[in-house]
Amino acid sequence: MAPRPPLRLRPHALRSAALSLLAVCATLAGLLLGAGAPPAAAAGSLPCDVYGAAGTPCVAAHSLVRALYSSYDGPLYQVRRASDGATRNIGPLTAGGYADAAAQDSFCSGTTCVITEIHDQSPRHNDLTVEGAGGAGAANVAAPADALPVTVGGHQVYGLEISAGMGYRDNTTSGVAVNGQAEGMYMVTSGTHVNGRCCFDYGNAETNNMDTGNGHMDAINFGTECWFAPCYGKGPWVQADLENGLFQSDAGYSRNTANTGTGPVPFVTALLKNNGQNHFALKYGNAQSGGLTTTYSGGEPTRSGYSPMHQEGAIVLGTGGDNSNGSIGSFFEGVMTSGIPTDAADDAVQANIVSAGYGGPTGTTGTLNPGSEISLRATTSCCTGDYVRHQNDAAVISPVTSGSSALDRNDATWIVRRGLADGSCVSFESRNYPGDFLRHFDFKLSRQPMDGTAQFRADATFCPQSGKNGSGTSFASYNYPTRYLRHYDYNVYIASDGGSNAWDSTASWAADVTWAVSSPWAP
């Protein structure tokens, strides 16, 4: 492509002398650890404790949901509210703990907030801010702060949900690998919020938001884009974005027929490590259970420019190195290390991620209070064993019993959230597709990822009322208040009592718009 003018970014504020000294000390500690046998990680160690004890200290540690060092008690991320432009840092409840999401809820009450900064917990202070324009995309916008509510470790927290046109970056980092230096990285993401556009990345990128050539990136990519055929299965795949290609092997295409992708797993650990000279490896795991699977471990790409690598040391999240920003994705936590972590350290980190309790039960069930998990049962005489579920994205009703498959029971379970457009109403988040909500479009209901727009917020908000048939609950559409959630011909709509559409039929309308709020089918 023809060269484009370089991006002009506002320089970071100068580091304080104290922080600089801390960074130097951390570097020396890492060198000392690498010189001898690394000490064992202490019990209860968090990911950066594990990597530091193994001689490969974190040079970046980003998370919206929890601390990544057992002693960390600083800010995790910053939100800005729409009402007055004020900002607030959100930190952990305790040192080494989970995010104080209640502080965000309180600060953003009655308005909306976006995420303006993701703080680096490492001594390097490689904080991520909203990414500016680049060679392949216009300047990004900040992600909505409430788009990805999730339970982690029994705590209600928020992840980062990226839609097209959103991304974060730091072009002036400290300690990140450059010019063929070794590094490792992982992120916890989701297999349920992906697409095939470029590029949902986390990792090392160019410092000018431009494509500067082969080997100038070293970042994890997660999505369904198959850059080099063949790719096996439907994905999404953990790939290495090494610039000008998403690599599953040294040949680019997959050499591993068993690597068909993670599938729609709600929480995924994606891992890349690269010695910068002649070897890189890719791994993935279910962030809720089990260990890691290595999908590739071998030489650098055989094309020119990748051996050695030419990393520039910027950090990108949510876009490609040249700000290719058509992708979508979810981000909960991620780190980058100095040097290649051992497999044993990777395994210990995966064990810690599993122990963190991603996607666990909210702790309350069967009510319309925010955070409660429920199922919605039809009350019309024809269909009292049918529940609202998502199927191929559409909202339908179908029978669900204790003998139903785990997938069916999960699809019929919803988490009650404060109304996205009005906190006195409710929104329904999918139990097994974090960040996806019931939303009406052309009067029909479906499961869709929250994009932060006012239109989505309104379409996904429903106001409970006494059931129209004298029992149970009816749900009025927030932006079409004379229309209620109704099942008709096994699909779910917002329907009025009489009208030109088939689903507005007056026959059995009162029963069809009345629901029993019941205990959830998912465990």
CA atoms within 13 A on the CB side of 168: 27
Q: How far apart are CA 33 and CA 27, in angstroms?
A: 10
Contact 474, 463 (CB under 8 A): no
Q: How far apart are CA 148 and CA 145, in angstroms?
A: 8
CA atoms within 13 A on the CB side of 76: 31
Q: How far apart are CA 442 and CA 492, in angstroms?
A: 12
What 3-state DSSP class applies to 18? Answer: helix
Q: How far apart are CA 117 and CA 101, in angstroms?
A: 16
Q: Which residue is it, tokens 């979508």?
A: 328
What 3-state DSSP class applies to 306? Answer: coil
Contact 408, 400 (CB under 8 A): yes
* Single-letter amino acid code for the residue at 236: P
CA proximity to 229, closest of 211, 249, 258: 249
Contacts for 366 with CB less than 8 Å, ≥ 6 apart: 372, 373, 374, 517, 518, 519, 520
Q: How far apart are CA 2 and CA 177, in angstroms?
A: 28
Q: 105, 250, 322, 408: which is the annotated catalytic residue? A: 322
Q: Kindly state the DSSP code that residue 519 receives in the 8-state scheme.
A: -
Q: How far apart are CA 162 and CA 140, in angstroms?
A: 11
Tokens of residue 343, six digits: 């497999």
Contact 76, 91 (CB under 8 A): yes
> What is the CA 194 to chain-centroid distance, rounded?
10
What 3-state DSSP class applies to 365? Answer: strand
Residue-wise burial string across 162-194, b where 16 or more C-beta atoms lie within 10 A, e elsewhere: bbbbbbbbbbebbbbbbebbbbbbbbbbbbbbb
Q: 49, 127, 201, 243: which is the annotated catalytic residue? A: 243
* DSSP-assigned states of every residue in 97-127: -BB-HHHHHHHTTTS-EEEEEE---STT---
* 322 included as an active-site residue: yes
Task: Return the active site residues.
Answer: 243, 322
